[in-house]
């Protein structure tokens, strides 16, 4: 079937307002519990990152009740599970955190024989540099970080990171992400380096660029750059593509560009954490999420790029041909995935980010 394009959805990486931080309370199970697996599943996911009926449909098909808690970012997810799994069965870390969690023995190998819908994945997603052989992870959604912009306020297409990092033209009308790894990584791309650089001199150069530019930035936005763009408070917003797409669906004066220097290619993954109390149910749910019909429902609702080739065949041309969802081959070729390069590199970036924020 062909599905229609849906309009605005809340941010995929946004924080919930007030106390509604979870859709359902998680019943914690004792670590190491050997109780027989029950018809339950505890899912730890990003905000608004599931289909409207996905959980109910899975429950109807399997009899398994899914309770979903939400995390705001990868750091929160990592910290929550670092000291021991409090009872989650399936989680959705981004690619570099998948690698970090593998290194820390926080994930268990997947049994591919229990996930036949792996065959629905596009060939390019059946292997991953950060998880060879897809031993611990399977792809859920993917996308880019680029520049959202107010078409009527910007001269042409902002096709370089220089519009944000090295220009007075839009001073006071720029928002940037509040994630130091990404902000510094994109500065490194603009300077001609890898966003995964471990060279202290290159990272220092990026730090100095950001300190010099800081007075021109309205805000390092905690994932609401798209809202600032929608309200007219900024004309340029460094953001996740899906968040800008939500504004584009409501406002024809908003565009999205992946700069010519290349951007961040991210991939959110489905993983079973060490100590999961319901690993068999987790495999069943993982297989359900990779089903063509279920995958199409999810992608249609949240409007992010699905790696599920079978699901894409059920979706409209408006979805499949949207460059804000699926970047050009050139953008993909110039983009990079963020890699886990050890705790020393993370500390180096965190320390640079601390100095940038304090400047």
User: Regarding beta strands 90-91 and 219-221, do their DSSP bridges make them parallel or antiparallel, or are they unpaired?
Assistant: unpaired
- Other Cβ atoms within 10 Å of 314 Cβ, number: 18
What phi and psi, each to the nearest 5 degrees, are found at residue 320? -65, -25
How far from chain centre, in Å, is Cα 299? 14
Classify 147 as helix, strand or coil. Answer: strand
| CA dihedral (190, 192, 196, 198) positive or negative | negative
Nearest to 285 by CA among 93, 40, 53, 113: 40
Q: Is the pLDDT of residue 13 over 60?
A: no
Mean pLDDT of 73-81: 92
Give the pLDDT band of residue 126 (cuts 50, 70, 90): very high
Classify 241 as helix, strand or coil. Answer: helix
Q: Give the chain's domains with CATH numbers.
A: 40-142+266-329 (3.40.190.10), 143-265+332-358 (3.40.190.10)
101-113 residue pLDDT tens:
999 999 999 999 9
What pairs with residue 315 in β-bridges? 3
Residue % of the chain over a pLDDT of 70: 90
Nearest to 12 by CA among 53, 79, 57, 72: 72
The listed range with the strongest mean pLDDT (33-47, 287-301, 315-329) is: 287-301
User: Regarding beta strands 138-150 and 264-270, do their DSSP bridges make them parallel or antiparallel, or are they unpaired?
Assistant: antiparallel
Distance between start and end Cα atoms, the chain: 54
Q: What is the pTM of this model?
A: 0.82
138-166 residue pLDDT tens:
999 999 999 999 999 999 999 999 999 99
Cβ 94 vs Cβ 269: under 8 Å: yes
């Amino acid at each position: 079937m062909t599905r229609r394009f849906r309009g605005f959805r809340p941010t995929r990486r946004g924080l919930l307002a007030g106390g509604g931080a979870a859709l359902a309370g998680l019943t914690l199970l004792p670590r190491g519990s050997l109780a027989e697996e029950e018809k339950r599943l505890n899912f730890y996911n990003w905000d608004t990152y599931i289909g409207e009926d996905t959980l109910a449909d899975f429950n109807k098909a399997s009899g398994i009740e899914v309770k979903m808690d939400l995390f705001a970012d990868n750091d929160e997810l990592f910290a929550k599970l670092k000291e021991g799994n409090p009872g989650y069965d399936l989680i959705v870390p981004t690619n570099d955190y998948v690698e970090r969690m593998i290194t820390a023995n926080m994930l268990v190998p997947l049994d591919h024989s229990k996930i036949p819908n792996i065959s629905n994945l596009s060939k390019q997603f059946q292997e991953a540099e950060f998880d060879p052989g897809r031993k611990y992870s399977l792809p859920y959604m993917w996308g880019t970080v680029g520049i959202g912009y107010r078409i009527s306020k910007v001269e042409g297409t902002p096709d370089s990171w220089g519009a944000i990092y090295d220009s007075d033209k839009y001073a006071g009308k720029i928002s940037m992400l509040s994630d130091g790894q990404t902000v510094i990584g994109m500065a490194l791309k603009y300077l001609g380096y890898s966003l995964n650089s471990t060279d202290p001199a290159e990272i220092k150069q990026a730090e100095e660029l950001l300190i010099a530019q800081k007075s021109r930035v309205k805000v390092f936005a905690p994932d609401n750059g798209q809202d600032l763009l929608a309200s007219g408070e900024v004309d340029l917003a460094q953001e996740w593509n899906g968040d800008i797409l939500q504004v584009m669906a409501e406002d024809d004066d908003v565009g999205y560009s992946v700069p010519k220097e290349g951007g961040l290619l991210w991939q959110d993954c489905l993983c079973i954490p060490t100590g999961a109390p319901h690993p068999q149910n987790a495999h069943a749910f993982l297989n359900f999420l990779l089903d063509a019909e279920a995958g199409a429902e999810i992608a249609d609702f949240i409007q992010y790029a699905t790696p599920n080739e079978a699901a894409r065949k059920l979706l409209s041309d408006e979805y499949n041909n949207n460059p804000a969802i699926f970047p050009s081959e050139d953008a993909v070729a110039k983009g990079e995935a963020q890699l886990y390069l050890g705790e020393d590199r993370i500390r180096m970036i965190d320390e640079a980010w601390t100095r940038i924020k304090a400047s």
